[in-house]
Amino acid sequence: MPTKTDKRTTGSGRNDTGIDTNAVRADFPILTREINGHPLVYLDSAASSQKPKAVINSIVDYYENYHSNVHRGLHTLAEKATNAYENVRGRTAQFIGAPHVEEVIFTRGATESINAIASAWGDDNVGEGDEIVITEMEHHANFVPWYALAKRKNAILKKISITTDGQLDLSNLSEIITERTKVVAVSHMSNVLGTINPIKELAQAAHKVGAILVADGAQAVPHMPVNVSELGVDFYAFSSHKMLGPTGVGVLWGKKEILEKMQPFLYGGEMIREVSFEKVTWADLPNKFEAGTPNIADVIGFEAALDYLENLGMDNIRRHEIDVTTYAIEQLSKLKGITIQGPHDATMRGGAISFTDADIHPHDISTFLDSKGIAVRAGHHCAQPLMRAMNIIATARASFYIYNDRKDVDTLCNALTQMRSYFGL
């Protein structure tokens, strides 16, 4: 632990982690607004992060100065737009340590990326009686596509359970991942518990039986350094909008040799090499998987988000979040009635903290906090199987990012204390 947990940074916004939250906040126009007469305290970045001016401006710049369709034009604007768009592919590959640029496929979001794998790869590689392994803590985005594949193919859907402290229970892994297993799909970081899962070990276990590993990185990539080569995964999916970028852009990364063999999941323009009435041949990677006009503007905006994150440094971001998360867990634990779900050691988890109150439903918590200008998420967080496993109906979730600091934790805890007296508890 690099920071002293007893040190209050209230006021300065700077802690020992190299991120000046006051300076960061100044880059996010939305954070200056008030909600219900209070300054906005945005603690819902795990659902979607806010956007810095640089991202917003890059989209405006594109539309005002060089908008054109990509790839097919021969004029100046088309060339500029194509270069800008393709440049982001390279930047993205670099950002996640992908060995080949053409392994980066742009989609609408992590959900679409996982759906694409489950249908295009799944339909050709999973058959009757084969096994698909997921975990109990998956977001519906990494559960339902596999459930549907299992139904289509009469395959068997198996799960890795969770322990009481919100980790994956790997004690009987060899019984779960077997010779019949074709794919292991697992979240890199839980959107409910914050748990960081041992992707590398799971990838090794999958490869040992000839299965592939698909990682849902929607919560991990925004908050910690991720290197797909080091992790040894076969597919990795994430979304731009949770990492300062625009909505409507996702990344599907896959190993080149797997992507080359995989069938397209969308057909149309851009994804072909040659079309005749009798025969159509597919384009090479990455175009094979990007039929139609892509989301050019938002991909370009995504590059500004990557710039912003790289400028801060992903290691610094991770350290900053460990600091804020440690402080938040410490302070929330002191509050009467509040129970924190998931690991309590911030080095083992991300900054999405789910909690419940013994007497107050998460929706009442959220409504009350909103009246104080504090935005949190409440509900099942698209993880109903996990809620069932934990035997709770819903949680409230406060999630922290680069623009949050210990002062936001204090604001949250004060409001939660007021809440209990408001409800007469």
Active site positions, annotated: 382
Each residue of 38-59: b (16+ CB within 10 Å) or e?
A: eebbbbbbbbebbbbebbbebb
Six-digit token string for 217: 């990185």
**41 vs 394, beta carbon nearer other proteins:** 394
- Given a contact cutoff of 8 angstroms between Cβ atoms, the answer to whether 109 and 324 are in contact is no
- Phi then psi for residue 92, to 5 deg, are -65, -45
Distance between CA 88 and CA 92 in Å, rounded? Answer: 6
**34 vs 175, beta carbon nearer other proteins:** 34
**52 vs 362, beta carbon nearer other proteins:** 362
Contacts of 39 (CB under 8 A, 6+ apart): 373
* Contact residues for other proteins, defined by CB under 8 A: 36-37, 360-364, 367-368, 371, 379-380, 387, 393-394, 422-424
Distance of closest approach, residue 342 Cβ to other proteins, in angstroms: 19
β-bridge partners, 215? 186, 236
Distance between CA 236 and CA 254 in Å, rounded? Answer: 6
**70 vs 141, beta carbon nearer other proteins:** 141
Distance of closest approach, residue 363 Cβ to other proteins, in angstroms: 5
- Phi then psi for residue 162, to 5 deg, are -110, 155
**295 vs 341, beta carbon nearer other proteins:** 341
Chain mean position to CA 186: 12
**80 vs 380, beta carbon nearer other proteins:** 380
Helices and strands (H and E) in the chain: how many: 15, 17
**62 vs 368, beta carbon nearer other proteins:** 368
Distance between CA 36 and CA 52 in Å, rounded? Answer: 23
- Given a contact cutoff of 8 angstroms between Cβ atoms, the answer to whether 60 and 70 are in contact is no
Distance of closest approach, residue 37 Cβ to other proteins, in angstroms: 7
- Given a contact cutoff of 8 angstroms between Cβ atoms, the answer to whether 354 and 192 are in contact is yes
- Phi then psi for residue 174, to 5 deg, are -70, -20
- Given a contact cutoff of 8 angstroms between Cβ atoms, the answer to whether 180 and 159 are in contact is no
**Taking Cα atoms as reference points, which of 171, 150, 147 lies closest to residue 160?**
171
Contacts of 219 (CB under 8 A, 6+ apart): 46, 187, 188, 189, 190, 191, 242, 350, 352
